[in-house]
Structure formats: C-alpha cells, structure tokens
Structure 1
Amino acid sequence: MGLWWRDVTVNVCSFSNHHVEVDVCDGNNIAQWKAVGVYGWPEATNKHLTWDLMRSIRHGSALPMLLFGDFNEIMGMHEKEGGAIRGERQIDAFRAAFEECGCRDLGYRGNIFTWQRKSVDTVIRERLDRCMADINWCNLFPYAEVIHFPICHSDHGAILLKFGDKPERRQQGKLFRFEALWLSSEDCSKVVGDAWLAGVGDSIHSRIEQVANSLSSWASKTFGDVRKRIKETERKLKATQGGQLDAHLMQRCNELSDELCDLHKLEESYWHARARANELRDGDKNTSYFHHKATQRRKRNLLKGLFNEQGEWKEDKEDMDLIIDQYFSKLFASENPSGFEEAIEGLEEMVTREMNENLDLEPTGEEIRDALFQMHPNKAPGPDGMHALFFQKFWGTIGSDVIQFVKAWWRGDVDLKESAFVPKRLITDNALVAFEIFHAMKRRGEGKDAADIIRTYERASGQKVNLSKTEVAFSKCVNLERRKEIVETLGVREVDKHEQYLGLLTIIRRSKKVVFMCLKERIWKKMQGWKEKLLSRPGKEVLIKAVAQAIPTYMMSIFKIPEGLIDEMHSVLAKFWWGSTATSRKIHWHNWESLCLPKAMGGMGFRDLKCFNQALLAKQGWRLCQDTSTLLHGVLKARYFKHATFLGALRGFDPSYSWRSIWGAKSLLLEGLKWRVGNGTSIKVWEDAWIPGEGAHFVPTPLPNSNLEL
C-alpha cells in the first residue's frame, strides 16, 4: 500500500506492508493529528495481527487519530451480501479492536459495498474499506464525509474522505429556536408575558412571532455566547487562584466557581435540546454525550439535494422546496374513489351514530390542554421554532388564546378520516398472522384474484396501492403461467421471498442465531465505545434500560431468541456498563445475573432478556386465552387447536416458528394459572389447578374408588 500527500506537512512515523503511520503537522511542523492507513491481513488465521496493530498504534499516541483503508473484515452481516455466512467471532474481534481504539465509523455516501467478487453462480459483495476516527479527530473535522465510488476495473471501489467545510446556510438569517436554558432566568416569563400582551388583537401566529423576536433580543443580551463566557470565566478563575489568596480573593473564587457551574449547566441544557437524547435527562452531567449526539444527528439529517421527477439532481433551496411540495401533494391527493357500500358490505359497524356525534363535538379547553401536556417537551419544534415546552411552561399566559384558536380551527374545514388502526389489535397480531401466511405459502397454497382484492381495498380505504413499489411472492403450488399472468396484470415485480415485513424477516431458516443476529448488531451500535467514555454512570444505566434493552422487545414478542445469542447481548451490555480504559478493560466485579437483581436486593435492576423473552411470549398466549375475538386467535385456532383451547393445544405438525415460540411459553402460564371456582362445570377436578391458597394447587392422588371423570 502507499500514501501520497501534497501541500501538507507530514512526518512518517512507521510503515510496513500492512500500514502507514504519519503525523499531520501545522505550519510550525507541530503534529496536530495522526493518519493511519491500514491493509488488514486477508487470512482468517492472521486477522488478529490487524487488530493488534491498530491497538498498538492507538495506545502509542495521544493525538487525534484517523484510521482508513482495507481492513478485510465487516462490522456485521448487514455489510455482506451473498456467499457463506461470516463467523461471528471474526466480526466480534473487529468490533473489540474498534471499541478499544475509541473510534467512530465516519459513515459513507454511495453504495454500502466496497468490494465484490463474481462467480458463475453468485456475486459476493462486502464493505471491507472504511474510514474511522476517534472523538478528538471528529471534533477537528465535524463536517467530514466519506464517498464510496462505483466498483470498476478492480474488485475494490475507491473511497474518498472529504474533510468538508461548514455547509452554507440555506435559509436567510438564523432560524429561531426556543431554548430550554432560557427558563433558568426569572426574566424569561416577563419577556414572554409583555410580548404576548403587546400583540392583543393580532393573529396567534403574529403574536408567537412577536414573542420569538423579543426572546431572541433578550437572550442575546442575557446569555450571549455560552462557550465564550465559559472560557472567559475559566480564565478569570485561573488568574484569581494563581495569586496569593486572602479572604477577599477567596470569596471572588467562590463566586467565579458558582458562575462557571451555572454556565456549564446552561451549556448542557443547550446541547440536550439539540441532541434529542430523550433517553437521558437534562442535568445529568453528560454535556459531551449530548454534543456528539447532536453533531451526529445534524450530519445524518443534512439534505444536500434531491432528485426531481425527471431524475435531475437539484441542490438549490427553491428547487428542493418545490420537489418536496410536489411529492407530498401528489402522495396525498385523492382520486375520488367510489363504491364504498360494496367494499364495506358485511363489515360490522364499530362506530355508532352516537359515538360519531361525540367524536365530532368541539373539544373542550381541558381536552386541548391535556393533549398539549401529553406531548414530549423536547421533540421537534414547529415552523415557528417553538417546542411543546414553550406552550407548557407559559400556559398560564397564552393558554386561553391557544384554546380559542384551536376551537376556531375545529369549527372550520374539517377532514375526518377513518382510522387505519383496528381496536384491540396489536402490531404483533399483524406480524403473527403474516408469518402464518408466509409459512403456509412455503408449505402449500394457491393463487387468488389479487387484482379484485387490491381494488376493493382501495375503494374501502381511499388509499391507492403503489404497484411500482409492490413485490409479489408465490407459493410453490402456483404454476409458471399463472405467475406470469398475475405479474403482467398487476404490473408488479416477482421475488422469491419478501425480505422483511413489519421490520421482521419473513423466512426463519434453520440457524436461528444467524437470523436474529441483527439484534446483537443493533445493540452494539447503540453501545459503541465512544459513548461509554462520554457518559456518566447514571447516564449509562439509563441508556441501557431505556434504549438498549428496549431494542429486542418487538422481536421477542413474536419469536423465541436463542439463549446463546441472548448471552452475547448480555456480554455487550456488561462490557459497556463496566467500561474500559485506553489500555485495558476494567474488571467485571459482578456477573450479569447479579446486576439483573432489583436494587433492593443489591442489583441494578437491569432486565434479564431470557426471562423477558419468555414473559412476552407467555403474554401472547394469555391474550389467546382471554380474547377469542381477534383475527390472530381465529387464524391460530383454525390451524393448531380447532377443537380445544390454547392451553390444551398441541405443538402440531410442521408448525411455524412463531407458533412454536408461543406454544413453548405455555408452560410458564401453566405454572401460575389457577381456576377461580364458579359452578365448577369447566374444571377437571383431578387434572386442573383450582385449590385456593399458597400451597399445592392440584388435588393429591385420588382414592382408588374415586370418579376420575370429574
């Protein structure tokens, strides 16, 4: 490998067949940051040499560091397509080195894959080349981006790292945003109140705009640039502490310390609002974490340009505004569907006339207030720059006017749509029904008149199915002629199988660990090493409980996750909790089972994902026992327990994996379920649990002459 540079002062520190290490210097030849080009060993038995090389270079320098090149390894199966499944140990070893170096992946623009190999039967593509850097380097170049070029004339595609300049502001002037830190001043309420009263008689939009202008002017004088004030206060404190202290200077030091503490709280509040890190609370001393999360969010959400309907790339703000307006105008336009009576014939009426009249009633002031205060205070602001926090904090001042405005809007043009949600149906019900259908299609099945079904749905819902984005998969019992006829009639694309439905894989293969490995990858991404160095211990606790352990909830409600994979997820969480230093991992003073105990018993109250998985599946079983009117119950009963209840159901022949998962959790239900005796006609005396109390729930062995049919 080679490294070239021009118009940059660079000192070569070390090099070999697998790396080049250089210091990038300023005009005085003082090293500012380190760049390391890497060519990883391609052999699986030698990959540990690449990771050891990365660690040794990282630990040998405190400079901000950039690592780039061909690492000959992937971070997860989402970075591989085709070919054999990559060994999880190889991926984990790369992740471990990545974390110990304190790096962040710089992402990419373009195709995810940077390497490919073609053969007669298959194409294998992987992301082997990447750029990664530590936090300090990312602070030096916050607008850096990586571009993946097409793979051409080689099995690798070129990658380009652009250090980037601050993007030009597309808007004229600075956008107003209400800042939570302003609430720390008692004068904020007076500014809002005076500005609101001054606009009496104007529209509510004009009054909010007037409040925004008054707050902007007041905040610039009161708070100024918080960072500059922090540096200036630190300079004063350092100068004061450097002299010979007497009583007067000691008091001055205390005053400056208090002022500096208040400024740090203001800075944290500022970045907390921009990070949208709702899993952590403001005031938790995690300013660096908020800052880096806000930077990542800004970079991820930046729109550089859009393609119009003609396929032309547009970067001008006015052109982008027009493209967005045209897209959504067309998306939500009505084609004036008809034939509703025929489409909904046979459906049970769930919303009565009386219920509909109550729904159409003008909302009361209390209902409007309750709706507002149920909003998260720190979510995205409206076009006026006001978060829900503004309206919640100053409801006493502006509440009556907001209520009047909402009621006036309600009495105007109202376009009520039928709800897309079915009462008492969970999204997991839809997923479970779909998996039974996919499983049945894999076993057997026949084609239906799909065109009539689609037209009926469009008439009933008022929504048009976009057939150009629709895929169709056929069971093995549909012959080729019938498949061709359906595809040509509908104008859709045929696929062997749908990759995902409602965020879940549609085909569960023999290796369950490989299928559900995405859960571990998602948790690892949330726990990446740079976060553990920025978060306080309470911050780590909240991130694990509120974010990481919530990731597998949806999938665990439908499938039983392999215990070995859950152990690996626990390992990722434990490593994040105990943390690591630049040179070594910290000792895990307690095993994960101890940390999962309640705090009252000496643990941390973390979730045992094995028990959690079992509990969620048992809950699905309990719903099948309690609510027999759902579509899910009807589908599963017809397939697995036609002449029994769920508790009496057998596993069945060739069941789907979702049914096997729920059926396997039935034992947990049976351990705790007990009949409440009424007339006793449904209770089997000798077989069912019905004896009250804390002791045995079953009748002991019956006497020889007992009636066993009771």
Structure 2
Amino acid sequence: MSLLGLNYCGLGLDAAVGELRDLIRSYNPVVVFLSETKMKSRAINKLKWSMGFQNGVAVDCVGRSGGMALWWREGVDVSVRPWCQYYIDAKISLEGKVWRFTGIYGEPRTELRHRTWEALRYLRRQDDLPWIYAGDFNEVLRQDEQIGGNSRNEGQMHAFRECLMDCGLTDLGYMGYSFTWNNRREGEANVQVRLDRGVATASFLEIFPNAQVEHIMTEESDHMALLIRTEATAPRRGPGQQRGFMFEEMWLKHDGYDHMIQEAWDNNPAADTGIRGFWQKLQDMSRDIKRWSFDTFGSVQAELKALRGKLEEAKVQQLVSGSSTVVRDIEKKLHDMYEKEEVMYRQRSRQEWLKAGDRNTTYFQNRASHRKRKNTVKALRREDGSRCATNEGMVEMALAFYQHLYTSEGSSNSDDILALIERSVDEAMNRELVGSVTDAEIETALFQMGPTKAPGKDDDSVVFMDATRESMEALKHVLQVYEVSSGQKFNIDKSSVFFGKGCPAERRMELKASIGISCEALSEKYLGLPTVVGRSKEGAFKHLPEQSWSKAVPTYPMGCFKLSRKACSKLTSIATGFWWGSAEGKRKPNKPGVCLPGLNHCAPEFSVREIRRVEEVLLDDGQGWDEEKLPEIFFDGDVDDILKIPVGRAGTDDYLAWNYTKNEVFSVRSAY
C-alpha cells in the first residue's frame, strides 16, 4: 500500500495535470494528498474523477495561494475530520488496520509558523491512533537540510523539533535525492531545502515497521513528490545466507549459561594449531551457542506471550481454588523475562549510559527500532545512476565492490621506497614484534573494549606543502610511486585539501583540478565536529542542539572544545525539557525519584544538573578543584572521579606522555 503527497504550486497547467496523472499511473497510490493546488474545490473534484478516484475532499485556495485535496480509492474506509488551511486529517481503515493520516501544508510566513505547530499539537490531543503526518512543513530540523542561501533560523528549527518531540513523532527518513524543494536559480543564487517529509508515531511504526519514504523527481513543481510505502519489505537473506553469530547480553541471565559455555569449549577440540585452530574452535562454539539459544533460551517475545496467557488462566483458576501460588510463580517468570527483554533492547539500541534494571523497555525498543531502520540498506545505486533494490542484486554489487577494492594491482620497486626510510626498528624491537602474543596481552586488549562492542581503527595522513603547481606535481609523483611500490591505491574521493587565507580562489581551483581533489578540508566536519573553530563559536557549534534533540548530550564535542555559556544554556534547556516538558500534546507528569529544577534538599534517583564549563569548578588560581562547588553540580560518585583527575600546578611545564605504559614512555608493544 502506498500514499502519494505533493506540493504542486498550482495545478492549472496541462503539463502539471499530465505529470500528476503519470505519477498516479506509475505508483498506483491508494491515497493522494495535494497541497498548494491554487484551485477551488469544484475544479479539484473534477480533476479527481479524471484521475480515477471516486472519493475525496478539497480545501479552497485563498486568492492565488493555498488549496489542498485528499483523494482515496474505492475499498478504503476513510473518515475525514474537520480541516483548515494547514491540514486535512483523516482516519483510515484498510485490511484490518486502523490508523490516522494527516496531510500538511505548513505556514509559509516565518512569523506565523508557530500556528502550524499549534495545530499539530491540537491534532495530537484528539486520540491515540497510530499516526503518520506528511507533506510540506515549510521548515527543517537541522542546518544540513539546506544548501545555499542564508542559514536557517535556529529558533524556528528548535520550535519544529520541540513540536515533533511533544507529539511523539519520529522522522521517517527518505530514499532518493536529499532536498525536496529547489528555487531553480543558477549558481550561488540556487537554494535547495528538505521542506517535505513524513513523520510518524511509535505506534504507527509498530503496525507498519517497514514504512519508508521515497523522494520522487518532478518537473512541473519546484517540490519533489513524497511516496510513502507502508508495507515496504526490508531486504531479507536469501537461501543459504545465514545470519552471522551475534552475542546476546541477555544470555548471561540464564542459569545454565556458564555450564553451556564450558561444555561448548570442551566439546569442540581444535583440529589445527595456532590462530587457525583457535578460529575454527570459535566457529564450532558459535554454532553450539546458537543451537542452545534456540532450543533452551528460546524467543523472549514468544515466551512473554505464552506467560501472559498462562497468567490470565491462573488468575481465573485462582477465583475458584483460592490459591495464589501458581499466579506468583508465573508473575516471577514474567518479571525475569521482562528483564531479559530490557537487556536485549538495550544492547540493540547501543545505549550504554543507562544500566539494566531501570525498566525503560519502551525507550530501548524505540531506539532499537530506529537504529534498525537507519541501518537497513534498502537499495544501492549503480554506476550508471540506476537503483538496485533486490536482495540478490545488492549482494552481487557488494561482492563486486569489495573484490575490486581489495584486489591488489601488484607492487614493484618497493626497494626504492624502503631505501628512503630511516630504520627505526632495531633487532630487539623486531624480536618483540614477531614474538608470540601472551595471554596477558590478549586479556588486556579484550578488556579495553566495551562488553558489547567491537574494535576499530582509522588512520589519516597529512601532507604540508606550498600552494604551487610544482608542489602539487611533486605530490602526485610521490603518490604514484607509493601506489606502484605498495600495491595500495590512493583514494581521491576520501581526500581533501586545505588552503591558507592568502591563496587566491583561481589558484585553488587550478590546484584542485590538477590532482583531482574537489573537497576542501575545513568546509567539512570530522566525526561530526568542525575541523576549525574561528572567532564565532556560536556559528561553529550551532549544530549541537540539533544533535542533543535527536541523540543525547554531546559529551564528545564538549570534551574537545570549550563551549560558550550560551551553548551550555541551550543544552541544559533541552535536557530539562526532555524530563519536564510536553509529550504527545500533554504536559509530562512528574517522575518518581526525579528532582525538579530549582528544588533544594531533595534526594533524587536521577536529576538534571546544569551543564557547566570546567573553569567554573576550578579554584580561582586554576591550581585545583573547588571541592565545595563540585557537589552542587555533580553526583557524589562523579565528584570522587573528578577529584582523582590531576590539575596542573604553577611552575610545571606540559610534556608528552603515552597513556598505555606505566612510565608514560612509548613502546612498540603497547601500540599493538
């Protein structure tokens, strides 16, 4: 089942009508929503019949602006609710599922856009039906949803994000081109924005877990069409493609887990020695563990369903027998299974900051579902620009890509490079490097990883040179020699170049073209952070509130940069709003064990503290921690950890230290 939504900016021209007819014929939607038709309802109804729809409603345009329409096919039970110039709201029943669709045309005037968010909150209070909301919102959630033109107003974006949060709506993402509106001007005057999107509640995603939004190119409108498929199927593994082994943290809660691991290890002797034999032993163990999980541990969801049914029967029986023993036993089993379910979703959601046992299963489930939707590969784009959406085709494309990527082109003349490298590894160091790995080294490496994480590493190379044609040619020659000698290709697409302020724009273009690099380094972000922070910190870190809204408190950027007081204040406001703001159109109730802002002498299990800068908890001379102020801001356990962090003393100089050896001196062994 699919829905089609489009802002047409006027449907009066024959070309626009013809394009709409082609879209409907190509995608066969059961529901069509049109905004900014710039037509009266009588004309829209005539158009509806010509498009093959027997049912629908229309909202008149006002002058030469506005106008909306909602059409639906025969066999779809639609109950339209009162509408206004911003939306058409409808209850839809189809194939045994009941849900709600609202088509939106957001207020185009910035100073009046709050009316759209007020209307959305009003709609959310009407009922708790699964809900999807789609159309032209005339606003974005983040700065990166626009290219060209002036920066978006942070206050307007914040109001949009707050509205979605209050209503419990999640952005469905998209497939296709990133920006849905284009002002169709040339050069620097061109502006493109993602104004159109689909958002939905968690309950909608429960009944349509594979719902997806696709951006469809159009010619007659400056907006792209939204194609929403509610029953889109996620790619599945084909015959013979088994899911790889994945450790489940909830296994640890089973009484027989330790015995099973020991038995699996003992029953799978290695057929070979060394690392190959160890790898084979782990492969055999993983099969035994998966079999045990299926046979003994079972499915958490299936077990919960069965226990709930047994509990209902036991309570009915209790009315007759008067005995509550069976009921208590089942309730205990349910308690244990709920704990396992929570651990399972916590692991899938990758939320490490909240420990197991807090009964936040709904939160974890939503995070896990969002993560699955985000990580699911629904299609790949071929070199000719066409899209491959079949599972078999994507498997072939992935295999071909990585076979090409990891196929060596051969190497020659490696001695030419080695002769230029000064020897830094002596015989003693070499013996240590090629020596056997000890159990203690393996244990140290393993326990440095998170219990449910996998290790990874990323290295970069930086070259400094003059901004001249000769220097660029010399660099090209060095890279070519390296490629021939090592067999490794230099990746132009992942490379960038940075020019000093004195380098003219014409020379920059010339040098980038000569080596084939199009990206300038400091115009990009690395790990989500600006590569350079200038005088305006507000501009460099204006994205942090956006990250906090969609993810969590950005502790990594805060550990790398000194944020302004204004940025800290915004982050504090977001955190307090999460706990005590509005949700789904209603004021959030006070949480038990959560301290309200401004209250003193409370003993909360969890409280929101104001986000501060480090300098505010140091002594005036900067030579130590302010032990009186620390407890006012941090929890007791955090205060103990902070006091263990040494603060530089007067008269001492900084020095380089290696964190992975006791004497702080680098050694080759510690680097591996």
Q: Name the CA distance, whole Å, in 2 between partners of 1:38 and 1:154.
A: 17
> Is contact 2:235–2:390 with CA below 8 Å preserved after alignment?
no
- Deviation of 1:587 (Å): 7.2
Partner of 2:5: none
Q: Name the CA distance, whole Å, in 1 between partners of 2:333 and 2:604.
A: 41
Amino acid at match of 1:97: C
Q: Name the CA distance, whole Å, in 2 between partners of 1:11 and 1:605.
A: 44
Q: 2:99 aligns with which of 4, 10, 33?
A: 33
Q: 1:13 aligns with which of 74, 81, 89?
A: 81
* TM-score calculated relative to the size of structure 1: 0.66
> Is contact 2:211–2:231 with CA below 8 Å preserved after alignment?
yes
Deviations along 1:296-331, one digit per CA (max 9) or x if unpaired, are: 222222223434556664455555444334433443
- Residues 610 and 592 from structure 1, CA distance in 2 versus in 1: closer, same or farther, beyond 3 angstroms? farther
- Deviation of 1:58 (Å): 0.3
Deviations along 1:109-163, one digit per CA (max 9) or x if unpaired, are: 1122111213465011111111111111111111000001225221211111111
Q: Name the CA distance, whole Å, in 2 between partners of 1:35 and 1:502.
A: 37
- Residues 129 and 468 from structure 1, CA distance in 2 versus in 1: closer, same or farther, beyond 3 angstroms? closer
Q: Do residues 267 (structure 1) and 267 (structure 2) align? A: no
Q: 2:555 aligns with which of 539, 545, 550?
A: 550
Secondary structure of 2:377's aligned partner: coil
Give the root-mean-square deviation of aligned CA atoms.
4.3
Q: 1:138 aligns with which of 182, 205, 218?
A: 205
Amino acid at match of 1:355: M
Partner of 2:57: none
- Deviation of 1:106 (Å): 0.7
Secondary structure of 1:14's aligned partner: coil
> Is contact 1:549–1:607 with CA below 8 Å preserved after alignment?
no
- Residues 289 and 337 from structure 1, CA distance in 2 versus in 1: closer, same or farther, beyond 3 angstroms? farther
- Residues 466 and 370 from structure 1, CA distance in 2 versus in 1: closer, same or farther, beyond 3 angstroms? closer
> Is contact 2:468–2:511 with CA below 8 Å preserved after alignment?
no
- Residues 614 and 341 from structure 1, CA distance in 2 versus in 1: closer, same or farther, beyond 3 angstroms? farther
Partner of 2:133: 67
> Is contact 1:74–1:127 with CA below 8 Å preserved after alignment?
yes
- Deviation of 1:53 (Å): 0.6
Amino acid at match of 2:191: I
Q: 2:575 aligns with which of 555, 573, 591?
A: 573
Partner of 1:296: 370
> Is contact 1:180–1:273 with CA below 8 Å preserved after alignment?
yes
Residue range with higher mean Cα deviation, 156-165 or 110-119: 110-119
- Deviation of 1:223 (Å): 3.6
- Residues 380 and 477 from structure 1, CA distance in 2 versus in 1: closer, same or farther, beyond 3 angstroms? closer
Q: Do residues 108 (structure 1) and 174 (structure 2) align? A: yes
> Is contact 2:595–2:606 with CA below 8 Å preserved after alignment?
no
Q: 1:608 aligns with which of 607, 611, 633?
A: 611
Q: Name the CA distance, whole Å, in 1 between partners of 2:473 and 2:599.
A: 57
- Deviation of 1:591 (Å): 7.9
- Deviation of 1:367 (Å): 2.2
> Is contact 1:446–1:477 with CA below 8 Å preserved after alignment?
no
> Is contact 1:340–1:460 with CA below 8 Å preserved after alignment?
no
Partner of 2:670: none
Q: How does 1:27-426 map to 2 (within 5 A)?
A: 32-119=98-185, 122-167=189-234, 169-172=236-239, 175=243, 177-200=246-269, 202=271, 204=277, 207-242=281-316, 245=319, 249-307=323-381, 313-315=387-389, 317=391, 319-332=393-406, 333=408, 335-336=410-411, 338=413, 345=420, 350-379=424-453
Q: Name the CA distance, whole Å, in 1 between partners of 2:566 and 2:270.
A: 67
Q: Name the CA distance, whole Å, in 2 between partners of 1:291 and 1:484.
A: 49
Q: Do residues 521 (structure 1) and 546 (structure 2) align? A: yes
Amino acid at match of 2:491: N
- Deviation of 1:60 (Å): 1.4
- Residues 525 and 23 from structure 1, CA distance in 2 versus in 1: closer, same or farther, beyond 3 angstroms? same
Aligned length: 546
* TM-score calculated relative to the size of structure 2: 0.70
Q: 1:4 aligns with which of 34, 47, 71?
A: 71
Q: Name the CA distance, whole Å, in 1 between partners of 2:455 and 2:606.
A: 39
Partner of 2:473: 451
Amino acid at match of 2:558: T
Q: Name the CA distance, whole Å, in 2 between partners of 1:501 and 1:215.
A: 39
Deviations along 1:234-267, one digit per CA (max 9) or x if unpaired, are: 2332343346658862112211111111221222
Q: Name the CA distance, whole Å, in 2 between partners of 1:236 and 1:513.
A: 58
Amino acid at match of 1:336: S
- Deviation of 1:98 (Å): 1.1
Q: Name the CA distance, whole Å, in 2 between partners of 1:223 and 1:111.
A: 44
Secondary structure of 1:3's aligned partner: strand
Partner of 1:584: 587
- Residues 254 and 300 from structure 1, CA distance in 2 versus in 1: closer, same or farther, beyond 3 angstroms? same
Q: Which runs of 5+ in 2 are unaligned?
A: 1-67, 625-646, 654-672
> Is contact 2:575–2:608 with CA below 8 Å preserved after alignment?
no
Deviations along 1:77-125, one digit per CA (max 9) or x if unpaired, are: 1112222222222112112211111111111111221112134650111
Whose helix proportion is higher, 1 or 2? Answer: 1
Residue range with higher mean Cα deviation, 207-216 or 561-570: 207-216
Amino acid at match of 1:570: T
